[in-house]
Amino acid sequence: MTRKEVTGIRDLTFSSWIRKKLPDSSTGFSVSDLDFILWNWKTNKVMMLEIKTRNSIPRAGQKIMWQNINQWIKNGIDDDWTYLGFNLIQFENTNFNDGKCFLNYKEIKEKELINFLSL
């Protein structure tokens, strides 16, 4: 059974700590969070997801990081697993009820996204 969300509130304490205590991006250091990793241990499929709302787009540094991680995983994933890539979900506003949704820059309906993410 899928566990329910406990708080519904994102704690930004650690994010703030990283920004204050770790090297500045001018040193080449870069940090980005990852929204979701989906995997099915019965079908041996895995994918990563980044979610953007209000028509926001990934920053250049995020895109470069994702492209690198995507390539590194493709090059090294076990033969019996299927890696389905690093995927971007963008909402025109916040969800399906208040606007359009895009998967990797292409509009997608909720049922289609459910099918895609169900592995």
Read off the tokens for 15. 């994010």
Tens of pLDDT, residue by residue over 75-103, are: 888 888 888 888 999 999 988 999 999 99
Predicted pLDDT at 80: 87
Predicted pLDDT at 5: 58
- The average pLDDT across 12-16 equals 80
In words, the CATH class of domain 32-117 is: alpha beta
- CA distance linking residue 51 with residue 89, whole number of Å: 5
- CA distance linking residue 53 with residue 51, whole number of Å: 7
Tens of pLDDT, residue by residue over 42-76, are: 999 999 999 999 989 988 888 998 899 989 888 88
pLDDT band at 34; cut points 50, 70, 90: confident
- CA distance linking residue 99 with residue 94, whole number of Å: 7
